[in-house]
Amino acid sequence: MGIRDRGHVNRHLRGLVLDGGESPAPGAEVWAGDAAVGRITSATRSPALGRPIALAFVRRQQAAAGTRVEIRGEGQVVGATVSDLPFAR
């Protein structure tokens, strides 16, 4: 039985472009409003974009490029924008 037999995929791997600050740790939560909608899988600073970027699995409802989310982890809250992959300027 394949994924198509089970319905739609609930989480999608997406890029996040952070508003600033440091790269979040893997496992940091992605929030939209009052709900946790995903988790960071990896993050780094992008020399091309001049800011931190991350990969995260996010719920289907928040997976569209341009969706605003927050990254919460280690006592920090940083705004981010969902981006299509690969990252582009």
Classify residue 2: in a domain, yes or no. Answer: no
Looking at the structure of the chain, the number of domains it has is 1
Q: Cα Rg for the chain, rounded, in angstroms?
A: 13
User: Is 67 domain-assigned?
Assistant: yes
Q: Kindly report, residue by residue over 56-85, the tens digit of the pLDDT.
A: 999 999 999 999 999 998 888 999 999 988
In DSSP terms, 18 is beta-bridged to: 80
Q: Give a yes or no: residue 37 inside a domain.
A: yes
Tell me which amino acid residue 18 is: L
Q: Which domain holds residue 65?
A: 9-83
Query: Residue 49 domain-assigned?
Result: yes
Kindly tell me the burial class for residue 26, based on how many C-beta atoms sit within 10 Å of its own C-beta (0-12, 13-18, 19 or more): middle
- In 3-state terms the chain splits into helix, strand, coil percentages (rounded to 5) of 10, 55, 40
> Is residue 4 domain-resident?
no
CATH code for the domain in which residue 66 is found: 2.40.30.110
Q: What is the pTM of this model?
A: 0.87
18 is a domain residue: yes
pLDDT digits (tens, 9 = 90+) for 13-52: 999 999 988 899 999 999 999 999 999 999 999 998 899 9
